[in-house]
Structure formats: C-alpha cells, structure tokens
Structure 1
Amino acid sequence: MQNQEGLQADGEVKSATSVPATEFDEWANFADNDIMQQHSAIHAEEAEKIPYVADKEPLSSLAAEYQSGSTILLEKIKVLNEQYASIRRTRGDGNCFFRSFMFSYLEHILESQDQAEVNRIKANVEECRKTLQGLGYTDFTFEDFFTLFIEQLDSVLQGNEDSISHDELVVRSRDQSISDYVVMFFRFVTAGEIQKRSEFFEPFIMGLTNATVEQFCKSSVEPMGEESDHVHITALSDALGVPIRVVYLDRSSCDNGGVSVNHHDFIPADSNLPNASGGKTFSPFITLLYRPGHYDILYQK
C-alpha cells in the first residue's frame, strides 16, 4: 500500500522530467477518507490472501467493491469502463507500485517482442549500475538484483532456450524469490536516480519528511514494504526512460458538476526515450490505477 501525502514543489526547479508544482500539490486531494477506510483496510493479514500479482479480471469486478459506497466512485468506474477492459490486482504490501510496474513492463516486452526496447533498457540499466557505483554503493549490495532483472527480461523474448510463456511470467511474478528481487532492483534504481539528481528531488522530499535525500532513500525507497509516491514514480520513470500513466480513482468532482477520471503521465526526459531525436511523442504503455493506498494494473480496450 502506498503513501498519499501531498508533495510541495519548488517553483524555481526546472527539468524536462519535472512534474508541475500543481500536480504534486494535487496529490493531497487523493487522500479521500472513505476510500482510505476501504483500502487501508487491506491489512497485512488480508493482503497475504492476494497473490503478488493476481489474474486479470473484468473491470466490472471493481464496481462490485463499491456497490454500497460512494455514488461518484461508481460513476467514475463507468467512465473508466469506456476506455479500460480489465484490471490486474497486486498485493497491498507496500510494494504494489513496483510490483505492478514490474509485471506490466515484462508483459509488454513478452507481447511486443521489441528487441530494440530491450537493448535500450539494458543500456539504461548499465547507466543505473554506474550511478550506484559512483554514489559509493558496493556491487554486492545490488548486483544480484540487477542480474535477476536482466534474466527475466531475456526470458520474455521468445526463441531462446530459456524463453517463457505468459503463464510462466505470472508464475514467476508470484514466486517471492524472483518477484522480491526484481522489486529490489527497481528500488535501487529509484534510489540511485533520486541521489544522482538530489537538487531536483530535495524540495519534494522536504514536503514529505525532514530527512536528507540520502536518508530518505535509505528509509523510504530501498527497504521492502516502504510505500511509493510521486517522487518514486518520477525517479523510476526517468532512470529507465519508461513513460507511466497513473489513473486516479477518487471522489473529486469537476467544477461543472460532471464526472471525470483524472490521470497523470510521467514522461521521462527526451534523451532517455527511444529514438528521442526523431521528435516522436511517446504515450505510456504502462497504465496503473491508483486508489488512495494502492496501485493495480489497468488494461485498455
């Protein structure tokens, strides 16, 4: 389950990857008490009943959760249903953002068989390794996690002796010895990016805690089970060059009284995107549903 606190942005900070201050400030709006009561309700005992990555379900299963709840949430789920066909839930154990990203990205490679993207992400992973080394991390603290991620990435490319099917990807994502290692890979990548660009991230971190950037990474990014927020998503998206869309399900309404579903696209710096010099606009192929306290995976129609 994830953190919902608002982030205060410094208006002086400029970056191709920065999220406008208003976007960070709006984060606080998603901390809806009613939804929090329902989803903070995924206590550790209950969370353990859910696989790390569940089977895909029709989006109608989401509406069933709110039948006796807020009318506006049911209306928003109807709006979601116009664009999205299904949802894949992840365990609410504090790692659900990283777990959702992990499965969604590997699933995308398995379905697209995009060798160019695999080559690009491997180059970015190598840069992330150098970043951690430059920050003083010793190889043994992170190398196993990096190695396992590359193995999983190679395995979803077909035609190799170790290639896996979609069903096997689901099985591996539920295997703690594999799934947790890949989550730790993403946590180290995120921590490295935050510290490498500490001047950019510091104002946002100060909006969450009085800790230094390094302390924040040690206490709120690297440990398993620590919740993720805009800072984590921005850093991971930037480091790997992978755009991410987060769709927000909350009780906010439009000024005109209508019902709409807000989303935010985390778009990395152009230099980190594939074929950046081609002037293309890249739409996220990873879409996550955020309900205060939790991330799941959404699938478009």
Structure 2
Amino acid sequence: MQNQEGLQADGEVDSATSAPSTQFDDWANFADNDIMQQQSSIQAEEAEKIPFEPLSSLAAEYQSGSTILLEKIKVLSEQYAAIRRTRGDGNCFFRSFMFSYLEHILETQDRAEVDRIKANVEQCRKTLQSLGYTDFTFEDFFALFLEQMESVLQGNEDSISHDELILRSRDQSVSDYVVMFFRFVTSGEIQKRSEFFEPFIMGLTNATVEQFCKSSVEPMGEESDHVHITAISDALGVPIRVVYLDRSSCDTGGVSVNHHDFIPADSDLPSASGSKTISPFITLLYRPGHYDILYPK
C-alpha cells in the first residue's frame, strides 16, 4: 500500500494492476505541454467524483472473501453511512485525521475550537524548541497547518468551500506539509512524555524513544499505530475514535465490531451533557495496515 501520494480520489479503489510497457513508451513520446494537459484532464476528472462512498461499497470488496468481515460490515452499516478512502502510502492515518478535522471545523464553524487548537499548537512549538529542534526544521509545516485551519472558517477572503478542501487535500504540496506538521507534533509529544510512552515503544521495537521518533514517527511514509494516535490526540487535545474491521472472532457468539476511543489526557474538552463523557468527532476505520474516514448516520 506504499508509493501513493495524497488523499485518494473519492470513490476510487486502489488497483494492483500495472500498465503495459508500450503505454510507458507512449508517455515517453509526449511533449511537456502534452503531459501537463493530460495531468490537468486527470485532475478535472478526479474533482468531479462523488465526495464519499456508501458503506455498502465495503461489502462489495469482500463478497468473495471472509464471511465474518461481511457480517461486521453489516453491523457497521447500522451506525455509519459512508466511508471516505485515503491513499495507502504509509501516511493514511495522518491524512485521514487532517481531512476529518478540517472538515469538522468547516461544517461547525467552531471558532472556539480553532482558538483552542491554536493555543495547543503554540505549546507544541515550545515543546519542539525545548527538545532542541531549530525553528526552520518545522516552522513552515506549522504555518501551513494554521493557514489551512483559518481557510475553513468562512467570512474571510481566503475562505474555501468543501470542494476546495477536497482538492487541497489531494494537493501533495499542501497535504504533505500538513502531514509533516502532525508528525513533528507527534514526535514532540512522545519525547516530552518519554517515560509514559517508553513501555509501549519497547513493545514495538528495541529502539530508544528518540530513535523511535527519528525512524518511525518523523519520516514520511512510516505507518502509525496506537502510540502515534495517543500522542497526537493528547498533544492537540482532539478525541479520536478508531473502529477496527478485522477477522477477529467474537467471544459472545454474536458478531460485533470493536472500537477504541483515544481521549486526550487531562482533557478539558466540553461534552454535550456537561459530564466527563466525550464523544470523538473524528471516526476512522482501521483495516490491517490502513485507515479511512467513517461518517456516522
């Protein structure tokens, strides 16, 4: 699931097929302007695709596969209406988180949440500085994320629509910078709380906390697991729900789908009822090695 960039075109399913060699020969004969026209045509075609797929499209993928997965998809369909796919390039968790969070701000226009996240981002900046990172190594990534967050607030000259958010999320020059922002934030949080994260990291690798961050958190294309999700949730104060679609059997005899809510440590987020119970507004679907976005009914 590697070597793919950007948010996957909505409704598009990854293909393992490759083009015949003659097709590559044809491409070699294109002039530069022909290639640019071809790319523009592809981008225009992608932009016209539907925003997301009904959850029933998942079932179609497994028609000839595992029965338990089909049963679990039926259970999922009781709570969730649609899925938005992301590219399987090792950055799928961060890309899914990026789009889902910005989409949430665009739909709710929650300026208080934007102010809150800005304060957390400033703390993340100070964390990296205290760890010895120089500003030029991460500042551009931070600036672009803040710019994207401001752009989904309406009423400004630079405000964008939902369609424009989709296009920006597919734009590698934008999405890769935001992914790197998340990776630096995650790395800073793990190193700042190294005593907390060290036992979890030791369960994954023999590397030290710092080595783990340098080799498995900060580089593009490195896949994410519970350590990354816990760290980014805590650092930004954003609760995240991960729903697991796998072949694990159910002890009760019936079919159920497990999920885990990553609730920020020492969270001061308000809940709908005023109690301590917090419902994540970001829901991701995890299938072994890959994350997509789920939309509740």
Fold in common (TM above 0.5): yes
- The answer on whether the counterparts of 2:11 and 2:52 sit within 8 Å (CA) in structure 1 is no
Q: CA deviation at 1:55?
A: 3.4
Asked if 1:107 corresponds to 2:66, the answer is no
CA distance in 2, matches of 1:212, 1:272: 31
Q: CA deviation at 1:281?
A: 2.3
Tell me which of 51, 76, 80 is aligned to 1:80: 76
Q: CA deviation at 1:280?
A: 4.0
> TM-score, normalising length from structure 1?
0.82
Tell me which of 176, 185, 189 is aligned to 1:180: 176
3-state secondary structure, aligned to 2:84: strand
Closer/same/farther in 2, CA of residues 49 and 104 from structure 1, 3 Å limit: closer
3-state secondary structure, aligned to 1:247: strand
Larger Rg: 2
Asked if 1:44 corresponds to 2:3, the answer is yes
**Residue identity opposite 1:74 in structure 2:** L
Tell me which of 80, 87, 93 is aligned to 1:91: 87
CA distance in 2, matches of 1:47, 1:172: 9
Tell me which of 284, 294, 297 is aligned to 1:298: 294
CA distance in 2, matches of 1:176, 1:46: 7
Q: CA deviation at 1:46?
A: 11
CA distance in 1, matches of 2:106, 2:78: 26
**Residue identity opposite 1:242 in structure 2:** V
- The answer on whether the counterparts of 1:191 and 1:221 sit within 8 Å (CA) in structure 2 is yes
In structure 1, list runs of 5 or more residues that go unmatched. Answer: 1-41
Q: CA deviation at 1:252?
A: 1.4
CA distance in 1, matches of 2:91, 2:63: 27
Alignment correspondent of 1:124: 120
- The answer on whether the counterparts of 1:52 and 1:174 sit within 8 Å (CA) in structure 2 is no
Kindly report which structure 2 residues correspond to 1:61-80, keeping only aligned pairs within 5 A, or say none. Answer: 61-80=57-76
Which has the higher relative contact order, 1 or 2, with Cα contacts under 8 A spaced 6 or more apart? 1
Task: Give the number of aligned pairs.
Answer: 258
Asked if 1:199 corresponds to 2:195, the answer is yes
CA distance in 1, matches of 2:120, 2:4: 37
Q: CA deviation at 1:237?
A: 0.2
- The answer on whether the counterparts of 2:7 and 2:95 sit within 8 Å (CA) in structure 1 is no
Identity of aligned residues (%): 86
3-state secondary structure, aligned to 1:260: coil
Tell me which of 233, 238, 244 is aligned to 1:237: 233
Q: CA deviation at 1:257?
A: 1.6
CA distance in 2, matches of 1:52, 1:101: 18
Q: CA deviation at 1:50?
A: 5.2
Alignment correspondent of 1:141: 137
Tell me which of 210, 223, 233 is aligned to 2:206: 210
CA distance in 2, matches of 1:43, 1:67: 25
CA distance in 1, matches of 2:247, 2:65: 11
Closer/same/farther in 2, CA of residues 138 and 45 from structure 1, 3 Å limit: closer
- The answer on whether the counterparts of 2:241 and 2:280 sit within 8 Å (CA) in structure 1 is yes
Q: CA deviation at 1:193?
A: 0.1
3-state secondary structure, aligned to 1:264: strand
3-state secondary structure, aligned to 1:92: coil
Deviations 1:156-214 (A, max 9, x none): 00001100000000000000000000000000000000000000000100111111100
3-state secondary structure, aligned to 2:159: coil
CA distance in 1, matches of 2:276, 2:5: 44
**Residue identity opposite 1:293 in structure 2:** G
Q: CA deviation at 1:72?
A: 0.6
**Residue identity opposite 1:44 in structure 2:** N
CA distance in 2, matches of 1:52, 1:220: 30
- The answer on whether the counterparts of 2:86 and 2:292 sit within 8 Å (CA) in structure 1 is yes
Alignment correspondent of 1:256: 252
CA distance in 1, matches of 2:64, 2:6: 22
Deviations 1:242-273 (A, max 9, x none): 00000000111222321000000000123453
In structure 2, list runs of 5 or more residues that go unmatched. Answer: 13-49
Closer/same/farther in 2, CA of residues 233 and 111 from structure 1, 3 Å limit: same
Alignment correspondent of 1:281: 277
- The answer on whether the counterparts of 1:128 and 1:192 sit within 8 Å (CA) in structure 2 is yes
3-state secondary structure, aligned to 1:118: helix
- The answer on whether the counterparts of 2:7 and 2:169 sit within 8 Å (CA) in structure 1 is no
Kindly report which structure 2 residues correspond to 1:218-237, keeping only aligned pairs within 5 A, or say none. Answer: 218-237=214-233
**Residue identity opposite 2:3 in structure 1:** A
